Structure 1
Amino acid sequence: MNVKKLIKSFGYALEGIWASFKQQNMRIHLTSALIVVVAGLLTGLSTVEWLIIILMIALVIGAEMINSSIESVVDLASPTFHPLAKQAKDIAAGAVLIFAITSVVIGLIIFVPKWF
């Protein structure tokens, strides 16, 4: 194993994470995640509930990062409008929406019984 290559690959990954923070939708997801974490701390979630919340946050953020990378590649490959480019971007955005809606539903299932 080449340690220098490994360290460089972690550096590239961190650059990608940092670049994703500049995206408006990522900032919305991160703000939502922060609100959920604060709510979880105030609510007193169980270990299993925390695991589910953390997993959902990671899935939404990861999906948003994949969506952003797909959008970048599509924009590079197809700088002018093309129906397939639009379809690829729409499908990727739709995947993020499905994860986000699912995370809201799971959040409601976890939080609502504790609050009411």
Structure 2
Amino acid sequence: MEEQGRGVEPFSIIKRAKGFVHAGRGIWIFLKTTHNAWIHIAILVVAVIAGLYFHISYLDWMLLVVAAGFVLSAEAVNTAIEIDIDLTSPEYHPYARDTKDVAAGAVLIASISATIIGVSIFGHYILDLLRQI
């Protein structure tokens, strides 16, 4: 256990609350500056509407929440990395490009994973609808 006399500040509810304010500002910046976030959110809205329409199970809702959180978190981290790279390396550098590409690749991995989850949740419902046509 850490001692307070060694540079560790005591717990402060005010500082914790300020942390939420800063996080909220970060989410606002993310939504304001990242067009891909709006694409992910639009897909999420469609998935939520489909989930309500098809009355998906509690487990499927949880999978949907985890998948959406995973994709949006990956996109937010990608945005933070891009902002940092643009600040610290305004000139072209191959390492800066590689860093941005790896971060974008992480978003792609998250999106593919979420797509697989979405197909596993909604695929049979959609096939049933198509068979009725």
Map Cα deviations across residues 31-57 of structure 1 (whole Å, 9 max, x no partner). 111111111111110000100011000
TM-score of the superposed pair, with normalisation by structure 2:
0.85
Map Cα deviations across residues 80-101 of structure 1 (whole Å, 9 max, x no partner). 1000000000000000011101
CA RMSD of aligned residues (A): 0.8
Within the candidate set 26, 40, 43, 2:54 is matched to 43
SS of the aligned residue for 1:9 comes to helix
SS of the aligned residue for 1:49 comes to helix
2: CA distance, partners of 1:115 / 1:71: 37
Structure 1 segments unaligned to the other structure (5+ residues): none
2:23 is aligned with 1:13 = yes
2: CA distance, partners of 1:87 / 1:113: 39
Larger radius of gyration: 2
Count of matched residue pairs:
116
1:114 is displaced (CA, Å) by 2.2
1:56-75 equivalences under 5 Å are 56-75=67-86
TM-score of the superposed pair, with normalisation by structure 1:
0.97
Identity rate of aligned residues, in percent?
A: 38
